[in-house]
Chains A and B, each alone.
Chain A
Amino acid sequence: MAVQSLELLYLLVRKDLKVRYKSSVLGYVWALANPLAFAFVYWVAFKYIMRVEMENYSLFLLTGIFPWFWLSMGVTHATRSYQNNASLVKKVRIPRAILPMSNVVQEMVHFVFALPVIMAFLVFAGGFELRASWLWQLPVLLLLQFAFAYAIALALATSNVYVHDIEHLVGLGFAMLFFVTPMVYPITMVPEELRGWFELNPLHALMDSWRGAFLAGSLDGATLAYAAGWAAALAMVAWLVYRRLAPGIGELL
């Protein structure tokens, strides 16, 4: 990607972040509030009321929910990125693939800003230690999830210009995947005859890797490779979809 495009990406992301927090007093706190509030609600529901038997359940929730919010929010916002920036598609000539990317990057920035908070929970609530291995594990996972999220975002954003129903399906899809991935209970609780199917879900591989890195300081090679394989396949599909559909979106918006 040319330097000029990177600058455009940077300016678009900065614009969105600036605009989002300019008029709110708490600013950055809001970026944390959503995942934290969700984690708290699930903690009450599943630990306190349903009594899930699991060590460090609150940390299990937190270390999954933050990357999940990045993925789901990034893809959900990106799906409408061409509609929301119609004048940039119709009236000027920019590399169109940048628009959904700016949504994914924006949510990634939130996630990166939230990393110290996650680590604070691990240290103070869980008694874990900060790990040197995070220095390479977290960047690897950041890169992997970025590829994953961007591939999905690009394909959905482009197709959504043609078939508007996609944006509704995306919200629904993430709501269901949240429970199937699973985010609020360990996969070991899934009945054995079904577990194999659950494990095929690439989002499970991704989220499991985050948890492994945060909680155990380890990355499972096979899980990682499985997620990376999916990311590569999705990238290929996204590229084909984009190449086929993107030239026509200027006249459809």
Chain B
Amino acid sequence: MTAALECRGVWKSYASRRIGLKTLLLGQRAARTSRYARRWALQDVSFEVSRGQAFGVLGANGMGKTTLLSVLLGIVQPERGSVSLRGRVASLLELGAGFHPELSGRDNLFLYGSILGMRRREVAERLRAIVEFSELGDAVEEPLRTYSAGMITRLGFSLMAHAPADVFLIDEVLAVGDARFQEKCRAHLLEFKRRNGTLVIVSHDMEALAALCDEGIRLDMGQVADAGRIGELIGRYQTQ
């Protein structure tokens, strides 16, 4: 099996800070002593995910999970180490980043699709399937501001689910809509895996992680504290 994603010795610091004229002129007063003030957001994180596998990332808030996904996606540059991804990546770090309330659901699909790296033609070809999956029906012609929160997440997830990708990066967005729709999303992701797609999932929903993932890691203060088969990993995490 070939690795779809490799993360080798990644270090990421919090050091870079925004500066204003005030700090430029008056100098910086630095006194940061909370647990979030540690120097490294990620410390020597390594793992690899094979094609057709789902990989779960566990850990409490502020332990570096989202930073890790940002690094994998290439939004944030690590100081040391490297990430290699094979194939087309679709990310869902935030449902509907780039959605606009005044545009119709359909216009938003084209815009969001383009933001995710799809061609307009690709969105158009899949439009029917996407709308059908979202169960929005005619509401897709209405402006997004008339939607409920559940409808917006359904629209976003449906688009991502139909994006042509080899690797999905997903951050805490498995709680989409009602229980039945969640079940449908889960089934869709399992189907994606069966077609040799690769998943990296960050979540606090242990049940969802156990159902979808094969292996995983647990991050603690930016370090890999534990790794292994997902069932055992979750077991150790919960008895900790």
Which of chain B's residues have a CB closer than 8 A to the CB of A11? 110-111, 114, 120
Q: Is A251 an interface residue (CB 8 A)?
A: yes
Q: Is B227 an interface residue (CB 8 A)?
A: no
Known pairs A4-B119, A87-B97, A250-B70; A23 contacts B102 (CB<8 A): yes
Whether A3 lies near B77 (C-beta < 8 A) is no
- Complex Cα–Cα for A88 and B100 (A): 12
Using C-beta atoms within 8 Å of the partner chain, give the interface range for chain B.
20 to 34
Nearest residue, chain A, Cβ from B91 = A92
Whether B16 lies near A250 (C-beta < 8 A) is no
Whether B19 lies near A162 (C-beta < 8 A) is yes
Tell me the A78-108 residues at the B interface (CB within 8 Å).
Answer: 85, 87-94
Whether A92 lies near B98 (C-beta < 8 A) is yes
- Complex Cα–Cα for A251 and B20 (A): 16
Q: Is A49 an interface residue (CB 8 A)?
A: no
Residues of chain A at interface, number, CB under 8 A = 30
- Complex Cα–Cα for A23 and B115 (A): 25
Whether B115 lies near A88 (C-beta < 8 A) is yes
Which of chain B's residues have a CB closer than 8 A to the CB of A55? none
Whether B16 lies near A252 (C-beta < 8 A) is yes
Whether A18 lies near B77 (C-beta < 8 A) is no
Minimum CB–CB distance for A25 against chain B, Å: 15
Q: Which of B77, B98, B103, B111 has the largest count of A CB atoms less than 10 A from its CB?
A: B98
Known pairs A19-B103, A163-B21; A247 contacts B77 (CB<8 A): yes
Nearest residue, chain B, Cβ from A8 = B114
6 tightest CB-CB pairs across the interface, nearest first?
A: A87-B97, A91-B97, A91-B94, A250-B75, A91-B93, A165-B21
Which A residues contact B (CB, under 8 angstroms)?
A: 3-4, 7-8, 11-12, 15, 18-19, 22-23, 85, 87-94, 161-165, 247-248, 250-252
